[in-house]
Copies of this chain bind each other. A is one copy, B any other.
Amino acid sequence: MAYELYYWDGIQGRGEFVRLALEEAQADYVDVARQSGPAMGTGAMLDLMKSKREPHIPFAPPFLKDGELIVSHVANILSYLGPKLGLAPEDEKLRCVANGLQLTITDLVAEVHDTHHPIATSLYYEDQKEAAKARSAAFISERIPKFLGYFEQVLQQNPEGPNHIVGDALSYVDLSLFQVIEGLRYAFPKAMKAYAADYPGLIALHDAVTGRPNITAYLQSDRRLAFNEDGIFRHYPELDLAP
Contacts and interface: CB of A to CB of B under 8 A. Distances in A.
Contacts of A153: 57
Interface stretch (A33-41, A48-56, A216-224, A229-237): A48-56
Nearest to A71: B96
Contact of A114 (B80, B99, B114): B114
A157 interface: yes
Interface of A: 52-60, 63, 69-73, 75-76, 79-80, 93, 96-97, 99-100, 103-104, 106-107, 110, 114, 118-123, 128, 131, 134-135, 138, 142, 147, 150, 153-154, 157-159, 166
Given A54-B157, A55-B157, A103 B69 contact: no
Contacts of A106: 103, 106
A150 B59 contact: yes
Contacts of A100: 56, 58-59, 63, 71-73, 76
Contact of A96 (B53, B69, B119, B120): B69
B73 A104 contact: yes
Given A119-B138, A122-B138, A135-B118, A103 B157 contact: no
A227 B135 CA distance: 27
